[in-house]
Structure formats: C-alpha cells, structure tokens
Structure 1
Amino acid sequence: MGIHIIKMPDIGEGIAEVELVGWHVKAGDTVVEDQILADVMTDKATVEVPSPVSGVVVALGGEIGEVMAVGSELIRLEVEGPGNAGLVSASVETAEATPVVEAPKPVTATQASVTQDAPVATTPVASATRSAQVIPMRSAAVQGAIARPTGAKPLASPAVRKRAWELGIELQYVPASGPVGQITHQDLDAYIRQPAASAGDARAVPRATVHDDERIDDIPVIGLRRKIAQKMQEAKRRIPHFTYVEELDVTELENLRSKLNQEYGEDKGKLTLLPFIARAMVLAIRDFPQMNARYDDDAEIIHRYGAVHLGVATQTETGLMVPVVRHADQLDMWQVASETVRLARVARENRATRDELSGSTITLTSLGPLGGIMATPVINHPEVAIVGVNRIVERPVIKDGAVVARKMMNLSSSFDHRVVDGMDAAQFIQRIRTLLECPALLFVEVL
C-alpha cells in the first residue's frame, strides 16, 4: 500500500489560487476513479475535481472557504502500490514547480460567479509546502448523524437547502427526522447546537453563542456569496454610479402580450415582460451604442461592442448569477424568452457553463412582483449600464383630459458616469419608453 497525493489542479487561464467550497468525501471514505472529490471556485466558475485513482481517503488538505494555491495538496489517498508521495516530497524539497504528479482528469465547469471579471480573492493563500505534510483527519459529522452512502444526496426542501447554504452547513452530515427521511428546519437547529466533533472539525458550521433566549450565529462568507460580495464591492468602489428612474405606461404592451400569448403561446411559448424590454434595449442601443460597452479602467479603454450580449440577472438558491443571452440583437422575442428560461434553469441547477455566465455587454435585472416602485441597481462591472424593471401597478392616470385606469411601471437604470453622460442616459431610457409605450414599434425594422 502507498500514499497518493492529489494536488489542486491547474484550471488554466493564469489562475494561481482557488477557493475550496465543498467536499464530496471525508476521511475514511473509499473512492473510485473519476469520482468527484471536491468543488473549487475560481474567479470565473465553480468546477468539480475528480479523482484520478481509486483508494481510501487518508486526509483532507483544506477547510471549506479556504483559498488554496494551485499545486498545493488537496487530498491524500491510500492506494494499491507505491503511490506518489515520495515524488511529491522530492519536488517540494528541490523548490521546483509543483505540477500535479498524476494529473486529474479535466475538471468540469458547473457554476459561475457573477461575471468573468470578478476580482481575485485576497484571502491569504495556503502554502504549497503543506503538500509534504500529512493533514490530520477532520471529523465531518457530529455524534448521532445519519451515515449516507458516498455521493448520496440528502433530502431537503429548497427552503431548508437555502438556509443551510446561508449558515454554511453541509446537509450531508445533518441527521434527518422527516417522515420520508428529509431534513427539516428543526434538524438544522439541532445540528447547530451540537458541539463540533473536534477542534479541527471540517464542517463549515457557524459558531453559535447561546445565552438564555439569545443566539448569535456567525455565518462564514464563502463560495459564491464571497464572490458576489467582492464583485459588488469592486463595482461600487470603481464605478461612479448614477441612477435614472422613468415611469412608463405599459397598458398597451400588456394587452399586446396577452394577445400574443393567446395566439401563439402553445406553439412558441409564453412571453413575459422581459423579452419585450430586451427587444426595446436592443433597438435603443442602435441609437446609443455607447451603452453596449465595457470599460477597462486600468488601461483606460472603452470596448464598444457591435453584438448585444445581454446579461439577465437571475436569483438562485446560492446567490445572484448573470447568465448571458448571446447575440440578443439577432433573436426574436420568443427566442430571447426561450433562451432566458433555459439559462435561468441551468443557473439554478448549478449546471451553467463558464461561457454561459460571462461576457455580457449590458445587463437587464428585475425583481418581478417584488420589484418595488424604484431601485438603484449596481452595474455589472466592467459594463457601463444596467436596466432595472420595477413592478407594474394599475392606478388612475389623466389621459386626454380624463381620469382612466392604466398599468404603470418604472424603469430604474444605473450608468457609469465616467463613460455615460446624464443626457445620453436619459435619452436612452426615453427611447426605450417610446418603444414600450407603442409596442408595435418593436416589430418594425427601419432600413
């Protein structure tokens, strides 16, 4: 028997460090070749790391939430034969580069962060010299936890999964008391109150201070939530935002949408409001191409794009993501609607690829029924504009001298004031307003 050390793989594109966001195994587990061992997150995507060999897990090389250097020790396996531990130790002693001795098979992108240009994490990097150490085994479950087969997914409702993510709890190790073996909110409460198995417990469980009826949960900011926080901070730090809010009458638009869905809904699919707004944005960009741009403020270059790659902000259980409808300017509204639904589904299922979650040139965001009367959307750095949709409210409006009931909605849009002047922003939104208030214009191509 020997020890096989699996290093953090080189995911490419000059990435020097990644964040460890999830373990699929624990010490003592038996793994087979190609079995997924861990999830790691780069600035662009979350990828799965498979095992290149079969063996038994001896030790895990990092804590969930830890930022690790490419080439540092990820996991140790006991394998048949001599293993590769001696070769790895020798490479460390001679201070050579640390390529993977037996390279894992290519990782597969499963989820991306907000955009391809998210800032690099600044958490201290784990030293590559730890690859020569045996990391002590960390218990992954507390006493009484129900053992689940390796790779088996625990049963839990979306609400429970969302809460567990926010608390940093791995559901794999939470005892279930539901009627069909599902994990309940009460199970999460009980799990939090249990003491950790040891000081080196690998569970990303918030430390809870309980005194009488008071409790304070310390929730680690890791994984996608960390990337979102970094992205929002970077956007607000680097971009001087200004927000422009305009009211528009969408009564005729809603009437047209209803008729189109009634006429073509079964064959082409139902249209929501977003495809109409996307179409209006595409047409308005023809007159205001400076909105469809990305600003490289380090090089002081504005990259203005001919194609419109529309980012559509999508809320998932793990946080906000922005899948991209590519070449939205070449798609009709039904194609935009279909692609938006597909991208939202794969994003919420954590199956979106890196290409599907990067490269947007302008973003459309909406809170749907929760849209409120206005908002101050944060620009998706390094873009220069974002259009936000608020909720539709039917209320009395004076029209042609009479008080009538109309369906009204606000657009709350933000712009990078370094690149976009206030007058241009106002005219851009007014053009969108004209198109939406007279929706027949959305179907007219002017030569």
Structure 2
Amino acid sequence: MALFTFKLPDIGEGISEAEIVGWHVKVGDRVEEDQPIADMMTDKATVEMESPVAGTVVRLAGEPGDQVPIGSMLVEIEVEGDAPAAPPPSEETIEAETPGEAMVEEAAAPEAPPAPTPTPAPEPTPTPEPAVAKDEPVLASPAVRARAKELGIYLGQVKPSGDRIRHADLDAYLLYGAGQGYAPAGRSARRSNEQVKVIGMRRRIAENMAASKRDIPHFTYVEEIDVTALEELREQLNAGRGDRPKLTMLPLLIVAICKAIPDFPMLNARYDDDAGVVTRHGSVHLGMATQTDAGLMVPVIRDAQDRNVWQLASEIRRLAEAARSGKAKSEELSGSTLTLTSLGPLGGVATTPVINRPEVAIIGPNRVIERPVLRGKEVVAAKLMNLSISCDHRVVDGWDAASFVQAVRKLLEAPAFLFVD
C-alpha cells in the first residue's frame, strides 16, 4: 500500500486558490479512477474534480467554504502497490473551490458543518369547547355582530370579557385567538430557525455585489418606452418563425443596444481601478444575468453586434440552459463588456440594478404594462415598458446615459429601424 497525494491543479485562470463547494466522498470511501470527488469554485465557475487514481480516501483538505491554494493537497488516497506519479497540472480542469489550511485527521471522518438546530415546534393546543354553548344565546350589539360577520368570525367561539361580546373581544380574538383553540384567519405558519453557511457561488455573489456598491458611485436613469409597435412586430415574427426559437423582448432589445452603442463607447467599457485605465471595447460582449439554483450567474453573448434576432434568441436559450445546469464553460462566464438584467415575467415597474464590475453600465428592462395614453385628442391603449440603466459615475456622465437610452427608445418605438443599416 502507498499514499497518493492529489494536489489541486493550476486551472489556467491566473488564480492562486479555489474554494471547496462540496465533497462527493468522505474519509474511508473507496473511489475509482475518474470518479468525482469534489466541487471546486474559482471567481468564475464551479467544476467537478475527479480522482486520477483508484483507492481509499484517507484525508481531505477541509470543509465546504474553505480555500485551497493551487498546488496544495486536496485529497490523499491509499492505493495498492507503489503510488503513481502525480499528474502534471492540467489547464483543462475548470474552476474549483479552495479549502483552507485545516486538515482532517487520517482515518477520521471530516467534521461536517454543524446541522441547524430547529426550534421545537409549539405543541398543538387542544381545541376547547366553544366559549358559548351552542344552545345559549350570544349577547352582542348589532354593530359587533355586523363586524364579526364581515371578519368571518363565529361569535360562539369568542370569549366575552363581560356580560356580552364587545369590539375589544373581537380584537383580542383576532390578535391572540383568545384561547379558542385555533389561529385566527390570516395567521401564517411558524418556521423554525436555521443557519445557512454562505459558501460557493452565494459567497462570490455577496463579495462581488459588496465590492460594486462599495467602490462604484452608481446612478440610475429610467425612461418609459412605448413598445406597442415592437410587440406587434414580435408577434408577427413569432407567427412565421417555423422551427426557430420563440422571440422574447430581449433579442430585439439587444439589437437596439448594439445599434446605439457605437455613438456611446463610454458605456461599453471596463474600468481597471488599480491601473486607472478605462478600456472602451469595439465589440459588444453582452452579459446576460441569469438566475440559477446556485445563485446569479452572467453568461456572455460574444460579439452580440454580429448576430440577428434569431441567433440571439438561440444563444440566450443555450447559455441560460448551460448556466442553470452547471455546464457553462469558464470562458462563457467571463469577459462581458456590458450586462443586461431582466426579471422576465416578474417584471417590476422600475429597477436600480447593481453594476457587474469591472463594467461601467448595466441595463434592466422592466415589465410591459398596457395603459391608456393620450395621442393627439384620443385616449388609446398602449403597451409601455420602463427601461433602467445604472452607470459608474466615475466614467459615465448622466447626459451620456440619458442620451443612450433615448437612442434605444427611438429604435424600439420605430422597430423597422432595427433591421435597417
């Protein structure tokens, strides 16, 4: 028997450590070659680390949430015969989480994070007899009876504080149940307390958002856009789409953004705080904020300006599925120059999105609402949408942000120009 030390390889992203998101094995487990052993995360993504050898796990590098330096021990495995030579670092291996310096004792199972201690649920209260027997008259004024009827309260269950039921008794019943054995209408179920360790993607999101709000002086501009004609065009395109993906508002909005952005290069940029350099990009590498089970991820549509609406729709769907299934590649989750964030059907009237640093702007379409508007002397129904943009005020002036949104607005309100050079 011999010990084989599997060291965290250099994953080729210029990082010095990665975070342990979770273990697929524990000390004492038998593993086979290429069997997943851990989920690791860098600044960009999470990937599975696989065992290069078969054997028995005798040591792990830490617990979920710990950081592991590149080149340090991740797992020790007892193998038969002589230990094979450690494989060279592989750049094909993707992101992994970094365990810290705490090591698990040999032949002892790693300590799991303490399980949440739920608060004991309250004992069910036995239902007592009604405060007033069914065959006894309930004394209450007409006003109290009317209010009880409006609240859906059966007066026979209300305990009077005197010779009759009064408004104060109804209030006590609504607030406390008045000892009648069941909770009044509207009282929500009680949940036990639990502690959730902030690790992996959730921790990366927390750190990035905190840094964005701490270091970037945000300002947000919101404009209302009449998308009535755009929605009619979208319906016509979908009616003849054949086997192509169904169009949402987003591909059309992206086309408008890409057409307007050449006149506002300060918005399609990245700001290097340390070097004091703003890089204005010629191509639009558009980040698409995507909600996943692991948290918010931002896959990137490369060269969005070169794609038509159908290609954009296909790429949006492909990247969203890859992010949600955890199959997005590292290069698909980095390098964005401008981000678009949408709550989809949840919409919202207006948003103040947080910038995806080191970018300098983020755009957020809101829910489309049909409302009456005045056109000339006639009141007509129109479909309206607010468009929000948040910008880094160190790089972008308010006039530039407002002018850009107005340029996008003109394209969306006269959508034929989206398809004209």
- 1:106 Cα deviation after fit: 5.5
1:325-382 superposed Cα distances (whole Å, 9 cap, x missing partner): 0000111111111111100011111000011111010011100111110011001101
Identical positions, percent: 55
Task: Tell me which of 393, 397, 412 is aligned to 2:373.
Answer: 397
Q: Cα distance 1:124–1:36, how it changes in 2: closer, same or farther (>3 A)?
A: closer
1:212-270 superposed Cα distances (whole Å, 9 cap, x missing partner): 5463211100000000001101111111100001101111000000001112x114332
1:103-143 superposed Cα distances (whole Å, 9 cap, x missing partner): 476654379xxxxxxxxx9x99427xx5xx844532xxxxx
Give yes or no for the alignment of 1:207 onto 2:116. yes
- Residue pair 2:269, 2:280 contacting (<8 A) in 1 also: yes
Show the counterpart of 1:74: 74
Show the counterpart of 1:137: 108
- Residue pair 2:62, 2:99 contacting (<8 A) in 1 also: no
Give yes or no for the alignment of 1:306 onto 2:277. no
Could you tell me how far apart the structure 2 residues matched to 1:34 and 1:367 are? 39
Show the counterpart of 1:109: 94
Q: AA paired with 1:298? A: D
Q: AA paired with 1:217? A: E
- 1:11 Cα deviation after fit: 2.1
Could you tell me how far apart the structure 1 residues matched to 2:114 and 2:352 are? 34
Q: AA paired with 1:243? A: T
Show the counterpart of 1:3: 3
- 1:403 Cα deviation after fit: 0.9
Q: Cα distance 1:335–1:102, how it changes in 2: closer, same or farther (>3 A)?
A: closer
- Residue pair 2:28, 2:107 contacting (<8 A) in 1 also: no
Q: Please report the TM-score for the alignment, with normalisation by the length of structure 2.
A: 0.79
Task: Tell me which of 217, 222, 236 is aligned to 1:245.
Answer: 222
Could you tell me how far apart the structure 1 residues matched to 2:273 and 2:89 are? 37
What secondary structure does 1:290 align onto?
coil
Greater Rg over alpha carbons, structure:
2
Equivalent residue pairs, number? 353
Show the counterpart of 2:126: none
- Residue pair 2:10, 2:91 contacting (<8 A) in 1 also: no
Show the counterpart of 1:236: 213
Gaps of 5+ in 2: 123-190
What secondary structure does 2:259 align onto?
helix
- What is the correspondence of 1:3-82 to structure 2 with a 5 Å cutoff? 3-82=3-82
Could you tell me how far apart the structure 1 residues matched to 2:92 and 2:65 are? 19
- What is the correspondence of 1:265-344 to structure 2 with a 5 Å cutoff? 265-344=241-320
Q: Please report the TM-score for the alignment, with normalisation by the length of structure 1.
A: 0.75
- 1:16 Cα deviation after fit: 1.6
What secondary structure does 2:63 align onto?
coil
- 1:28 Cα deviation after fit: 2.5
Could you tell me how far apart the structure 2 residues matched to 1:20 and 1:414 are? 33
Could you tell me how far apart the structure 2 residues matched to 1:269 and 1:207 are? 44
Show the counterpart of 2:404: 428
Could you tell me how far apart the structure 2 residues matched to 1:291 and 1:254 are? 27
- 1:50 Cα deviation after fit: 1.5
Q: AA paired with 2:193? A: I
Could you tell me how far apart the structure 2 residues matched to 1:52 and 1:70 are? 17
Gaps of 5+ in 1: 85-99, 112-120, 139-199
- Residue pair 2:20, 2:67 contacting (<8 A) in 1 also: yes
Q: Cα distance 1:330–1:106, how it changes in 2: closer, same or farther (>3 A)?
A: closer
Q: Cα distance 1:212–1:336, how it changes in 2: closer, same or farther (>3 A)?
A: closer
Could you tell me how far apart the structure 1 residues matched to 2:375 and 2:27 are? 71
- Residue pair 2:255, 2:309 contacting (<8 A) in 1 also: yes
- 1:73 Cα deviation after fit: 2.2
Could you tell me how far apart the structure 2 residues matched to 1:257 and 1:19 are? 44
